[in-house]
Chains A and B, each alone.
Chain A
Amino acid sequence: MNEAASVASAPPARRHFEPEDRIWVSAGLFAALALALGLPLVLLVLWSVAGRWPAPDLLPSSYTGAIWRAVLDDGDVLSAAVTSTVIAVLVTVLTALVAFPAAWAMAKFPLRCKRAVEVFVLAPVIVPGIVVAVGVGQVFLAWGLTYTVPGVVLVQMVGTLPLMIRLLVASFETLPDELIHAARSLGASPLRAVWHVALPLCTPGLLAGALLSFVGSFEEFDKTFLVGAPAVQTLPVLLYHHLDPYSLQFPLAAVVALILLLPVLVVFVLSGRILRDDLMAAGMGKV
């Protein structure tokens, strides 16, 4: 009723919650968070150490470390973890190497058919991974790359490259041309100007892209499964086999899931500072 009046009188009148409102909002949000994220995590941990957990009970009736010990003694999970890590590192480095020059060209050069290049580079985001994988799989058969780690790295890069290019372009575009011009007119070669001036300024974009590539590769399933399995066992592929509805073993699946979750979450939490929201939104919020 006096809304217009209050807007007019209080200068940049952004409505804030009353203090007592805010408590309820944050209580509600954190309760939802606990329910959606905390509870599943607790359940996974409980399943991984549950000896016996018959149906109506809310907590296991006995605990055991036997599953963890069995999994850690059995080489499969550890070797899958190593494979996943090696693939993720390779994917990240190679994606950055290919994406950097391409993104630089798209952000800083007046290209004649810029729109066509943009569409071509982003097209893999639109096509489902399984479709890419089936096509690439046939090409790889001819090249002898199916069921090999290099093959999996290459097919995963089809997914990570567009995102990396996109994030880098967004980050290069915010870079003032004058800085490069200044460096150039002071006698720096183009490469030096990029290396010493542009690269340090674009570190946030590069790190965000690297992070997304790493996580994207570590968790990738569809393409890895079609091109690499059964010879290349990454953690998601291993977990998929443990989740088969007909032979599902929750304890074993929970252990593998926690092992798969751990590095991804560590990287993600560490990166809280690196991943700037505005950059992510700029890089991925447009098509």
Chain B
Amino acid sequence: MKNASAADNRAHLVAWALLLPGLVFLGALFAGPLLWSLAGSLGLDQGLAGFTLEHYAQIFTRPALRSGLLVSIYYGVAPVAVTLVLSIGLALLLRRHFRGRAWFNGLYKIPMAVPGIIAALVVMTLAERGGFLDRLAAPLGLALPRLVRDPWGVGVILTSVWKQLPFMTLVITGAFAAIPQEVSHAARTLGAGRWRTLLWVELPMALPGISAAVLLTFIGTMGSFAIPDLVGPPSPRPLAVHMYAEFGSGHLPLVYAIGMLLSAFAVAVLLGYYALSARAARLLGGSARKDDHE
């Protein structure tokens, strides 16, 4: 008995020793700087006496920044919604056999490896005023609306969708593939049609994978600044772009405060996701719980 617990302790020591380099690295380069930013945003880097909420107040009182938060959320939500619909369709098609499936399966993932900046350039060459689509439409007597740096951020949405479709499709294909065939067969045998099976059996079972992909994509888009900076409208701009501008003009406490707000929002979304998925797992019973919090 005593021996076993000694071995157990030794195993723990070894485990922590193995974890140490990674934990120290992330502590020094992620957690530390983040705490420092938090302190800076509250004025605590000047000592306890410097405590202030003024920098956070600025975000909510300066109109440009206040709309920035909404724009950030919009740039997070809109591309993900479009990508989600497209990639569920694509994942369903990829389950079937068709000619050239192996080729398609390799090729569709290319945008995953293409830098976001090139994606922006691609959208510019295609959809910019005087771009290729405009030139195609011109002989037909059509003039395309403004699609790049337009007020609705269509350019940003196009770029993000182009870039993220493969990742989302890959994860969703994986989530569908993990559903045991017997389950959908059972549903079909019990008289459910193809669409009913998809909607009420397969989609709910694939939900943990799908929602994780949605979450990662949402957070990525919400925080990126190169794409909205290049193909987004000059105003209103998302918080990440404001953050960079304020960084350039040296307003560090405000930069920290914006950063903290962005991070807090991401964490809140994550916690909401955990709460929802725990609830979903309870509602759906044991089968979904297994692959939930692993």
Q: Using a CB–CB distance below 8 Å, which chain A residues touch chain B?
A: 3-4, 7-8, 12-17, 22-23, 25-26, 29-30, 33, 36-37, 39-40, 43-44, 47, 55-58, 97-99, 101-102, 104-106, 109-112, 115, 117, 120-121, 123-132, 134-136, 138-139, 154-155, 157-158, 161, 165, 215, 218-219, 221-222, 225-226, 236, 239-240, 243, 245, 248, 250, 253-254, 257, 260-261, 264-265, 267-269, 272, 277-278, 280-282, 284-287
Contact = CB atoms under 8 A, between A and B. Distances in A.
B58 interface: no
Interface of B: 8, 11-12, 14-16, 18-19, 21-23, 25-26, 28-34, 36-37, 40, 93, 96-101, 104-118, 120-122, 124-126, 130, 132, 135-136, 138, 149, 162, 167, 170-171, 173-175, 177-178, 181, 185, 188-189, 191, 193-194, 208-209, 212-213, 215-216, 219-220, 222-226, 230, 240, 243-244, 247, 252, 255-256, 259-260, 262-263, 266-267, 270, 273, 291, 293-294
Nearest to B168: A285
A95 to B, nearest CB: 10
Contacts of B99: 22-23, 26
A117 B120 CA distance: 36
Contacts, number: 289
A149 B74 CA distance: 35
* Main SS at interface, chain A: helix
Given A105-B18, A158-B29, A268-B110, 19 more contacts: A15-B194, A25-B96, A29-B98, A33-B104, A39-B126, A123-B26, A126-B267, A135-B34, A138-B33, A139-B36, A219-B113, A221-B115, A221-B116, A222-B226, A239-B117, A250-B125, A264-B114, A277-B170, A286-B209
A240 B120 CA distance: 10
A7 B12 contact: no
B18 A104 contact: yes
A56 to B, nearest CB: 6
* Main SS at interface, chain B: helix
3 cross-chain pairs, A with B, having the tightest CB-CB distances, nearest first = A128-B223, A281-B174, A135-B33
Contacts of B104: 26, 29-30, 33
A239 B121 contact: yes
Given A219-B114, A285-B209, A120 B174 contact: no
A112 B208 CA distance: 25
A264 B247 contact: no
B240 A128 contact: yes
B77 to A, nearest CB: 15
B219 A126 contact: yes
26 contacts: A4-B191, A12-B185, A13-B185, A22-B99, A23-B99, A37-B107, A37-B110, A40-B122, A101-B21, A120-B23, A126-B266, A135-B37, A138-B36, A154-B29, A165-B22, A222-B223, A239-B121, A240-B117, A245-B149, A257-B118, A272-B106, A281-B173, A286-B294, A287-B212, A287-B270, A287-B273
Nearest to B211: A287
A123 B225 CA distance: 20
A128 to B, nearest CB: 2
Nearest to A258: B118
